[in-house]
A and B are shown apart, each in its own frame.
Chain A
Amino acid sequence: MSSATYSEDEIKIAPRARRWHIAVFLLPAFLVYTAVMILPLVETLRLSLFNTVDGQSTFVGLQNFQVLFGDARWAHDFWNALKNNTIFFAIHMLVQNPLGIALAAMLSIPKLRLAPFYRTAIFLPTLLSFVIVGFIWKLILSPIWGITPFFMDLVGLKSFFGPWLGKPDSALITVSLISVWQNVGIPMMLIYAALLNIPDEVIEAAECDGVTGWAQFWKIKLPLVLPAIGMVSILTFVGNFNAFDLIYTVQGALAGPDGSTDILGTLLYRTFFGFQLQLGDRSMGATIATVMFLIILAGVSLYLFTIQRRIRRYQF
């Protein structure tokens, strides 16, 4: 690798000489990334415009999308998954991120004893796989084991206990909260880092002006960590709209009961791969993947072009 075929001397003498080493450095990453990520992505987008007609792959324009949005059988599943996915995301934004901010704010209190311990412990669930997390919570919430009813009895709420994962009206909320439990470490860490990066002078100036405690948090610190909150939100958005593992583990590929926890990821899996009586359908799978791509792209563009620009970046 370190043969000096194209040495720097050549470049200095002839700056226009071909600098092959740049290509050599870039090529492996470029090739793997293009071949395994970009081309399949483009091919998937292309496939969404094709369908099998008389055993032949034929260009059908936007017909697959018409079927997905309008055909009675497909549309029901699709809009249901999209609705559930939106609720899934909303619960993360309303519970996970405020909780993460609160934990980060408490952890960043200067000279707080045991802070490293809390930080390490709270981040642990984030590292576990969805499979582990899903099954653990399935066991804990199971009426057979009785851990949850026992704890609810301690606080006198036993009568409210039910098989939450098995009921259509509570299953989605329960799964979302399990996901929040697992992922709260990410907003906590990123916002904690942003809070630590606020320079002492700013805080000292605030204290000289008598802004302390709650007022200091709301008026000084929170506005300064808005960029981090924006980033956490877009990470949550992308993660939620391509989630799959947790629902598959806890509720299976059918995302029961009665499709009440079905999100786009599980719908894509069932459509593309087939499940039980349903045959796998490549074109419709590609169509759903394309819709997911467009949703994520819209979210990311919104973030990059409007939100991130509006949030003033404070350079210290």
Chain B
Amino acid sequence: MSKARISPVRSGFVHLALAGYTAIALFPVLLTILNSFKDKNAIFRSPLSPPTMKSFSLIGYETVLKQGDFVGYFQNSLIVTVVSIFFVLLFGAMAAFALSEYRFRGNTLMGLYLAIGIMIPIRLGTVAILQGMVAAGLVNTLTALILVYTAQGLPLAIFILSEFMRTVSDDLKNAGRIDGLSEYAIFFRLVLPLIRPAMATVAVFTMIPIWNDLWFPLILAPGEATKTVTLGSQVFIGQFVTNWNAVLSALSLAIFPVLILYVIFSRQLIRGITAGAVK
């Protein structure tokens, strides 16, 4: 980029500041994970040292796995997240295609209508959503959560995907039409494969708030069989406040999947944010 170099002294200060903040960002997470592998005495006596041969202990994890149904919670979170993302991507891409490809009466209006949800949080409709779910008999089912999260994810997905759909070449689509492809085939066979990178970005954006949400699981699906991992750890930790081993292990168990996914997808995610977010 710019050609001016900054002086070594200034770059030293910049590194100091950035490294300092990085430490602040990572320290709490590392502290939790390290201490989850220690016995109770070591947690209190030397909280900052890594587990040693002597202080290493898995007692916290044993308690968590025995007392809480964390495998079940993970399964619920996974089902809800994956199915919601699937519908958000499928329905979102279809709607984005209709909005960006065809001119029809009410196109702009429909686009604006679908964009309301980008700014207005779905949470404000909770009173009536719960009422509706009770009426439909969907309380304490994963279906209720999937419906809510699909509706929540659609506005932003449609917005981002239609930006990308406009970049797909018209010649290609018209060539398909001349070859006798139906509009559906053009969408599924030509356009969808081309916007796969954008779909990945949308998937990551959609995933984080769904996986981390506490509000809707708490209100729509608080039953033991439908608890998500966020609600599950919230309730579990609330019950075991005084058992530090169990609390630290439960927290670590909730952190690991996010950490692993982040290590794998961080480039994709950051590229997605830095490329498409500010337009």
Q: Which residues of A contact B (CB under 8 A)?
A: 1-8, 19, 21-22, 24-26, 28-30, 32-33, 35-41, 43-44, 47, 102-103, 106-107, 109-114, 117-125, 127-132, 135-137, 139-140, 145-147, 150, 181, 189-190, 192-194, 196-197, 200, 203-204, 207, 212-213, 227-228, 231, 234, 238, 242, 244-245, 248-249, 265, 268, 272-273, 282, 285-286, 289, 292-293, 296-297, 300
CA distance A112 to B1 in the complex (A): 11
CB-CB < 8 A to B95: which residues of A?
25-26, 28-30
CB-CB < 8 A to A212: which residues of B?
4
Interface size, chain B (Cβ < 8 Å):
99
Name A249's closest neighbour in chain B (CB-CB).
B234
Complex interface: stretch among B50-58, B61-69, B119-127, B195-203 = B119-127
CA distance A146 to B187 in the complex (A): 59
Please state if B188 and A2 are interface contacts (CB–CB under 8 Å). Answer: yes
Least distance between B11 CB and chain A CB atoms (Å):
7
Known: A7-B180, A107-B18, A242-B123. Is A38-B274 also a contact (CB below 8 A)?
Answer: no
CB-CB < 8 A to B278: which residues of A?
190, 193-194, 197, 227-228, 231
CA distance A41 to B119 in the complex (A): 13
Please state if A145 and B2 are interface contacts (CB–CB under 8 Å). Answer: no
Q: Which of A4, A33, A147, A272 meets B155, CB within 8 Å?
A: A33
Please state if B31 and A147 are interface contacts (CB–CB under 8 Å). Answer: yes
Please state if A8 and B120 are interface contacts (CB–CB under 8 Å). Answer: no
Q: Which residues of B contact A (CB under 8 A)?
A: 1-6, 11, 14-15, 17-19, 21-22, 24-26, 28-29, 31-32, 43-44, 47-48, 87, 90-92, 94-95, 97-99, 102, 104, 110, 113-114, 116-117, 119-129, 131-132, 147-148, 150-152, 154-155, 158, 177, 180-185, 187-189, 208, 211-215, 219, 230, 233-234, 237, 244, 247-248, 251, 254-255, 258-259, 262, 266, 270, 273-275, 277-278
Please state if A125 and B29 are interface contacts (CB–CB under 8 Å). Answer: yes
Please state if A139 and B11 are interface contacts (CB–CB under 8 Å). Answer: no
CB-CB < 8 A to A120: which residues of B?
262, 266, 270
Main secondary structure of the interface of B (DSSP, over half): helix
Least distance between A125 CB and chain B CB atoms (Å):
6
Name A12's closest neighbour in chain B (CB-CB).
B177
* Known contacts A40-B127, A265-B123, then 18 further A-B pairs from the complex at CB < 8 Å, ordered by chain A residue: A2-B185, A24-B184, A25-B97, A32-B91, A33-B117, A40-B126, A41-B122, A47-B127, A120-B266, A128-B255, A131-B234, A190-B277, A194-B278, A268-B126, A282-B131, A293-B124, A296-B121, A296-B124
Least distance between A143 CB and chain B CB atoms (Å):
12
Q: Sorted from nearest, which 9 A-B pairs have the closest CB atoms? A: A40-B125, A129-B212, A4-B182, A43-B128, A40-B128, A25-B98, A36-B151, A29-B95, A193-B274
Q: Which of A119, A248, A285 meets B270, CB within 8 Å?
A: A119
Least distance between A166 CB and chain B CB atoms (Å):
14
CB-CB < 8 A to B98: which residues of A?
22, 25-26
Please state if A36 and B148 are interface contacts (CB–CB under 8 Å). Answer: yes
